[in-house]
Chain A
Amino acid sequence: MKRIAVVGAGGFLGRTVIDEIGQRLDVAAIAVVRSPKSFPTLMNVANEVRFTYGSSSGLERALEGCDAVIDVSLGEVAGISGAATQLLSACQSTGIERLCYTSTYAVNAVKRSRLSPTKIPSEYGRQKFRAETQLLERAAATKIRIFRPGLIWGPRSSWTLKHFRSLVDGNIAAPAANAMKQSAPNLIFAPNLARLMIDSALSMESQTIVDCADLWWSSWEDYFVKMASATGLHHSQVHVATRLIRAGLAEELLELVFNNRFLTSVFQRGKAALPKTAIALLKLKFKPAPKPWQAVSASARSTTITTSQVHRDGAFSAMQRDIFVGWPPPTRNLVDEGLSELVGMCEALDMTAKWLRQAGYFQVTGLESAT
Chain B
Amino acid sequence: MSPTKAVIIGCGAVLEHIHLDALRSLQKSGLVEVTAVVDPVDEMRRRALTWFPGANAFAQVSHALESTQLQVALIFSPPAHHVSGALECLAAGLRVFCEKPLATDAQDALRLVQHEQSDRIHVGMIRRTFSGNRFLRQSVAEFVDLSDFEFSWFEGGRYSWPISSESAFLQSRGGAGIVLDIGTHALDTIAWILGMPDSVSITSDASQDFTESNATLEVKLPSGRGKMQLSWTDPLPNGFSISSALGDVWLAVHGQPNVYYRQSRAKPWNVVQPARVASSSAHAELKLPKTTSFSQIELTAFLTNRHGFLTPVSEAHAILTMLTSH
A residues lining the B interface (CB < 8 Å): 10, 15, 35-41, 43-45, 49, 51, 156, 158, 161, 355, 359-361, 363-364, 366, 369
A156 — which chain B residues lie within 8 A by C-beta? 233-235
In the complex with contacts A37-B161, A158-B235, A366-B265, A359-B210 CB distance below 8 A? no
Cβ–Cβ contact A359 & B213, under 8 A: no
B156 — which chain A residues lie within 8 A by C-beta? 359
**CB-defined A-B contacts under 8 Å, sample of 9:** A37-B161, A39-B169, A41-B233, A44-B206, A44-B210, A359-B229, A359-B231, A363-B152, A363-B241
Known: A44-B213, A158-B235. 14 other contacts (CB 8 A): A37-B159, A40-B211, A44-B206, A44-B207, A45-B233, A161-B235, A359-B235, A360-B236, A360-B237, A363-B241, A364-B154, A364-B237, A364-B250, A369-B265
In the complex with contacts A359-B236, A363-B152, A43-B166 CB distance below 8 A? yes
CB of B304 within 8 Å of the partner chain: no
Chain B nearest CB, measured from A64 CB (Å): 18
In the complex, which of the residues B163, B205, B250 contacts A44, with contact meaning CB atoms closer than 8 Å?
B205
1/0 contact string of B275-317 vs chain A (CB within 8 Å): 0000000000000000000000000000000000000000000
Q: How many Å lie between the Cα of A361 and that of B265 in the bound state?
A: 15
State how many residues of chain B have any CB contact under 8 Å with chain A: 36
Q: How many Å lie between the Cα of A355 and that of B160 in the bound state?
A: 22
Chain B nearest CB, measured from A31 CB (Å): 11
Q: How many Å lie between the Cα of A156 and that of B265 in the bound state?
A: 26
CB of B239 within 8 Å of the partner chain: yes
Cβ–Cβ contact A36 & B163, under 8 A: yes
CB of B51 within 8 Å of the partner chain: no
CB of B212 within 8 Å of the partner chain: yes
A361 — which chain B residues lie within 8 A by C-beta? 237
A355 — which chain B residues lie within 8 A by C-beta? 234
Cβ–Cβ contact B239 & A40, under 8 A: no
Q: How many Å lie between the Cα of A355 and that of B214 in the bound state?
A: 14
Q: How many Å lie between the Cα of A253 and that of B206 in the bound state?
A: 58
Chain B, 151-167, CB within 8 A of any chain A CB: 152, 154, 156, 158-166
B159 — which chain A residues lie within 8 A by C-beta? 37-41
Q: How many Å lie between the Cα of A15 and that of B158 in the bound state?
A: 11
Cβ–Cβ contact A43 & B235, under 8 A: no
B residues lining the A interface (CB < 8 Å): 152, 154, 156, 158-166, 168-169, 177-178, 205-207, 210-214, 229, 231-237, 239, 241, 250, 265
A38 — which chain B residues lie within 8 A by C-beta? 158-159
Chain B nearest CB, measured from A3 CB (Å): 19
Compute the total of residue contacts between A and B using a CB distance below 8 Å. 79
B205 — which chain A residues lie within 8 A by C-beta? 44
B234 — which chain A residues lie within 8 A by C-beta? 156, 355, 359
A359 — which chain B residues lie within 8 A by C-beta? 154, 156, 229, 231, 234-237
B170 nearest CB neighbor, chain A only: A43
Cβ–Cβ contact A43 & B265, under 8 A: no
A51 — which chain B residues lie within 8 A by C-beta? 166
B210 — which chain A residues lie within 8 A by C-beta? 43-44
In the complex, which of the residues B163, B233, B235 contacts A37, with contact meaning CB atoms closer than 8 Å?
B163
B166 — which chain A residues lie within 8 A by C-beta? 36, 39, 43, 49, 51
5 smallest CB-CB distances across A and B, nearest first, come from: A360-B154, A40-B159, A40-B232, A364-B237, A39-B166
Q: How many Å lie between the Cα of A38 and that of B158 in the bound state?
A: 8
Q: How many Å lie between the Cα of A158 and that of B239 in the bound state?
A: 17
B169 — which chain A residues lie within 8 A by C-beta? 39-40, 43
Q: How many Å lie between the Cα of A80 and that of B169 in the bound state?
A: 31
B163 — which chain A residues lie within 8 A by C-beta? 35-37, 39
Cβ–Cβ contact A40 & B164, under 8 A: no
Chain B nearest CB, measured from A367 CB (Å): 11
In the complex with contacts A36-B165, A364-B154, A44-B212 CB distance below 8 A? yes
B241 — which chain A residues lie within 8 A by C-beta? 363-364
Chain B nearest CB, measured from A48 CB (Å): 11
Q: How many Å lie between the Cα of A131 and that of B152 in the bound state?
A: 46
Q: How many Å lie between the Cα of A175 and that of B272 in the bound state?
A: 37
Cβ–Cβ contact B160 & A37, under 8 A: yes
Cβ–Cβ contact B213 & A43, under 8 A: yes
B156 nearest CB neighbor, chain A only: A359
A356 nearest CB neighbor, chain B only: B237
B207 — which chain A residues lie within 8 A by C-beta? 44
A369 — which chain B residues lie within 8 A by C-beta? 265
Listed residue (A161, A364, A369) with the most chain B CB atoms within 10 angstroms of its CB:
A364
In the complex with contacts A37-B159, A40-B213, A44-B212, A360-B265 CB distance below 8 A? no
Chain B nearest CB, measured from A259 CB (Å): 43
A355 nearest CB neighbor, chain B only: B234
Cβ–Cβ contact A41 & B232, under 8 A: yes
A37 — which chain B residues lie within 8 A by C-beta? 159-163
Chain B nearest CB, measured from A158 CB (Å): 7
A35 — which chain B residues lie within 8 A by C-beta? 162-163
Chain A nearest CB, measured from B254 CB (Å): 15
Chain B nearest CB, measured from A41 CB (Å): 5
A39 nearest CB neighbor, chain B only: B166
Chain B nearest CB, measured from A154 CB (Å): 12
Q: How many Å lie between the Cα of A329 and that of B212 in the bound state?
A: 37
A366 — which chain B residues lie within 8 A by C-beta? 265
A365 nearest CB neighbor, chain B only: B237
B205 nearest CB neighbor, chain A only: A44
Q: How many Å lie between the Cα of A364 and that of B250 in the bound state?
A: 9
A362 nearest CB neighbor, chain B only: B237
B159 nearest CB neighbor, chain A only: A40
Q: How many Å lie between the Cα of A35 and that of B159 in the bound state?
A: 11
Cβ–Cβ contact B158 & A41, under 8 A: yes
B265 — which chain A residues lie within 8 A by C-beta? 366, 369
Listed residue (A15, A36, A43, A366) with the most chain B CB atoms within 10 angstroms of its CB:
A43
A45 nearest CB neighbor, chain B only: B233
Q: How many Å lie between the Cα of A172 and that of B163 in the bound state?
A: 40
Q: How many Å lie between the Cα of A353 and that of B186 in the bound state?
A: 27
A45 — which chain B residues lie within 8 A by C-beta? 233
Q: How many Å lie between the Cα of A95 and that of B178 in the bound state?
A: 38
B268 nearest CB neighbor, chain A only: A366
Q: How many Å lie between the Cα of A35 and that of B206 in the bound state?
A: 21
